[in-house]
Amino acid sequence: MPSPVRRSLVLATVMALLLGVVGISAPAALGAPFTSTRVAGIDVDAATIPQLQAAMNRHRLSAVQLTQFYIHRIKKLNPKLHAVITVSPRALADARAADRARRAGDRRPLLGIPVLVKDNVGTTGMANTAGSWALAGSTPPDAFLIRQLRAAGAIILAKANLSEWANFRSAPSSSGWSGIGGQTNMPYVLDRNPCGSSSGTGAGVAADLATVGIGTETDGSIVCPSGANGIVGIKPTLGLVSRAGVIPLSAEQDTAGPMTRNVTDAAVVLGAMTGIDPNDPATAAQAGHAFTNYTQFLDADALEGARIGVWRAGTYNPTVSPEVHAILNATIAALEAQGATIVDNTSIPIEDAYGPEFEALLCEFKDDIAAYLETYTGAAYPKTLQDLIDFNDAHPGLEGPWNSLIFEWAQETGGRSDPACTEARETANAIARAAITETLATNDLDAIIGPTNGPAWLTDPVNGDLGGDFSTFVGSSSPSAISGWASMTIPAGYAGPLPVGVTFIGARWDEPKLLGFAYDLEQATDVRVPPRFLATSSSAAAKVTGKPSKVHANQRAMSGLR
C-alpha cells in the first residue's frame, strides 16, 4: 500500500518539476478566481458532487441556491466568455422540484445538480442548433442521454456554445466559433482559444457556469477543450452513451461524455449517462460492460503495480513544445511515485489512419446529417447537406466569416452507399484498433498516456486555428476516436497561466480502469487551479496564410478539433 510519506513526496516532486522546468507560478500565485465561487459558505469550484449532495442532504445548501448562483454567474461572465447560448427557462422550477424531492427522501446521484449541455444535444424546451442559424428555433425533445440525466435528478441548466457543426464545415475555421454563439473565449486567458468543438462546455465548466457539463467528440472534441480549459473529460467507448437525438458528424465515431472539474464528478455523470437505447443499436453492446455507478472504481492505489506506456512520438515535438515535454515528464515522475512502471517512448502507429478517417467522415456526414434533419427538425428547416450549404451561401452575414468548404467536399461524395466510403471506414478502424491493441499487448501495458494538448493558441479571427500552422499543435485523441475505444484526460500542469492535460488511452470498455488511474494521479498531484480571466498574454502565435486545400483540412482533422 502507498504510504503517506510517499504521497507527500509525489506532490513535492511534481511541483518541483513544474516550477523548475516549466516555470509556472505556484497555485497561490495564480491568484483568486475572478468572482467568488462560494455558495452558502461552500466553495463549489472545489466541491465534488457527493460533497454537494451531502451539503444538500444536511439542508446547508439547496438546489435553488446552487442554480441561482450559476444563472447569476452566467449573466456576469458570459459576456466575456461566450460559453453559453441559452439558459433553460425551467431551470429554477426544476431546482425547486429537486428540493421538494430531497425533502421527501429522494437521494438520486445527480439530484439538484445543474448541468451545462453542448448545443448539439436535444433538450426539451431549448433549441438544438449546432451553433448554426439554419437550426435557430428548432426544439426537438430530450435526447436519450438527457432523459438518463434527468432520471438521475440532474437539472439541465443551459446549452453551451461550440464550434459550429462540430468544426466540420469550413477550412479554415476558428475552434469555438458559431454563428449563433460567437467566439468562445477560454477563461484562463481570454484571447486564447478554448479548443473545440465542445469549447463552450469546457470553458463553462472551468469558469463555474455549471457544476458539470456534457460534451461530444468525433476526434478530440471532449479531450482537447477539457485539457485546454484545465478540467477532466471522458471520451467513452462508442456505444456506452446513446447517440440518438445528438446532431451528428458521424455515427461511426460520435459519442457524448462528461466534462467536469474533478475525476469524481466525471465518474458520477458517466454512470448516469449509460443505458441501452432501442433507437441506438450500438448501445446494445454495452450489456455486461456498463455501470450506473463508476465511483466504485475511484481507487487512490490504482496505479500501484500498473504498467503505463508513454506515447511521445507523433503527439508533440519537444523542441517546439518544451512546456508540454516538462509537464509530461513531471506526470511520469508522479506515476512512478504512485507505484506505476513506466514504459517510455511507446508507439501508437496511427498515422496511416488519418487519411481514411477524413475520407470516411466526409461521406458519413453527408448521410448522417440528412438523417438527423429529417427526423428531428420541422418542415421549415433544411433537410439535406446541400440545403445547409445553400443556407450558408444565402446568409453570409449570419454564417460568416467562414466558408462551407468541408460541407462542399462532403456533398461531392457518394455518401455511405459508396463502396469507397465503406473501405475508408474499415481501413481507418482496423489501423486504429490494431495500433492500440498491439501497443498494449507488446509492452504488457494497462494503459497509455500522452499529452492532451499544448498551451492554448491565440484565437485568430482571420486565419483560424493556429493561423494554419500545425507544427505547434499537440494532440493524442485520434487512436481512441477512430477505434471507438475509451480515453480520458485530466489536468497535468500549466505553461504560464495556460492549462495542459494528459490523456489516458485504453481499450474497449476500459473506463473503469482509466478512472482508477486518473483518480490516483489526481489525488496525488492536485494540480488544478481556477481560472483568473486574464485579458491577454504576451506571446504570439505563428500565422501562416494561404488558400485552404483538402490536405490542409485533413491536417486540421488530424489535429483533433472535432
pLDDT in tens, 3-62: 444 444 444 433 333 333 333 333 333 334 457 999 999 999 999 999 999 999 999 999
* Coil/strand/helix, residue 466: helix
301 vs 108: CA distance, rounded Å? 28
Closest-CA residue to 114 (of 59, 70, 55, 159): 70
pLDDT of residue 234: 99
The answer, yes or no, to whether residue 532 has pLDDT greater than 80, is: yes
Three cell numbers, residue 79: 459576456
DSSP letter (8 states) at residue 523: H
| Average model confidence (pLDDT) across the chain | 91
**Residue 538 banded pLDDT, cuts 50, 70, 90:** low
Query: At what angle are helices 385-394 and 405-412 packed, to 10 degrees?
Result: 150
Residues with active-site annotation: 118, 197, 221
Alpha helices of 135-291 — where are they, by DSSP H?
144-151, 199-206, 223-228, 263-273
If one counts the domains in the chain, the total is 1
198 vs 131: CA distance, rounded Å? 11
Range of the domain at 351: 4-558
Q: CA-based angle 450:243:74, to the nearest 5?
A: 75
Q: What percent of the chain has pLDDT over 90?
A: 87
Q: Is the dihedral of CA 122, 125, 131, 137 positive or negative?
A: positive
64 vs 97: CA distance, rounded Å? 9
Residue 229 maps to which CATH number?
A: 3.90.1300.10
For β-strands 487-495 and 341-346, DSSP reports them as unpaired
The answer, yes or no, to whether residue 515 has pLDDT greater than 70, is: yes
* Number of CB atoms found within 10 A of residue 149's CB: 26
C-alpha distances in Å from residue 337, one per residue of 6, 178, 329, 422:
7, 44, 12, 46
The answer, yes or no, to whether residue 559 has pLDDT greater than 70, is: no
- How distant is the alpha carbon of residue 110 from its chain centre? 20
pTM > 0.85: yes or no: yes
pLDDT of residue 176: 98
477 vs 486: CA distance, rounded Å? 10
- How distant is the alpha carbon of residue 182 from its chain centre? 19
Three cell numbers, residue 333: 515522475
